[in-house]
Amino acid sequence: MIVTTHSEAETTALGRDLARELSPGTVVLLEGPLGAGKTAFARGLAEGLGCNPEDVASPTFTIVHDYPGRVPLQHVDLYRLNDAETDDLGLEDLLEGHVLAVEWPDRWRRAPRDAVRVTLEPLDGDRRRIEIARYSTR
């Protein structure tokens, strides 16, 4: 599925809509350059899972944020980590009972084959081209 959003609110709403289809143990890989809207999309995921969307912030410095909700969300940002450091996080252990959203997933060599891949591409202004697909290239 490919969608063009025209505002941060629309990007967040798309994440919220996707979250309603997710179950615990699902991995969502959020790909895109800095400023592409990955955190806005994650905010929507949180809201759709019954977490407080106002709590969602870019996890760049904390690396992992845990948001309690109807289905808890683990929000991970691997931007500052190399492959070995990512391996040491044990991301697989975060899956039980949670949805796991991972920013900068190219640093996670063992990402699950059945993950949902969300690619965000900034266009002009607040517009984003967002592709949502099953991850199957590993």
Secondary structure (H, E, C), 58-108: CCCCCCEEEECCCCCEEEEECCCCCHHHHHHHCHHHHCCCCEEEEECHHHC
User: Do 42 and 104 contact (CB within 8 A), yes or no?
Assistant: no
Domain total in the chain: 1
> Residue 71 pLDDT more than 90?
yes
Q: Specify the DSSP element, H or E, that contains 44.
A: helix 38-48
Q: Looking at residues 58-76, what average pLDDT do you find?
A: 84
Round the average pLDDT of the chain to a whole number and report it: 89
Reading phi first (left if > 0) and then psi (alpha if -120 to 50, else beta), residue 25 is in left
Q: Structural domain of residue 40, as residue ranges?
A: 2-134
For the whole model, what pTM was predicted? 0.89
CATH number of the domain encompassing residue 9: 3.40.50.300
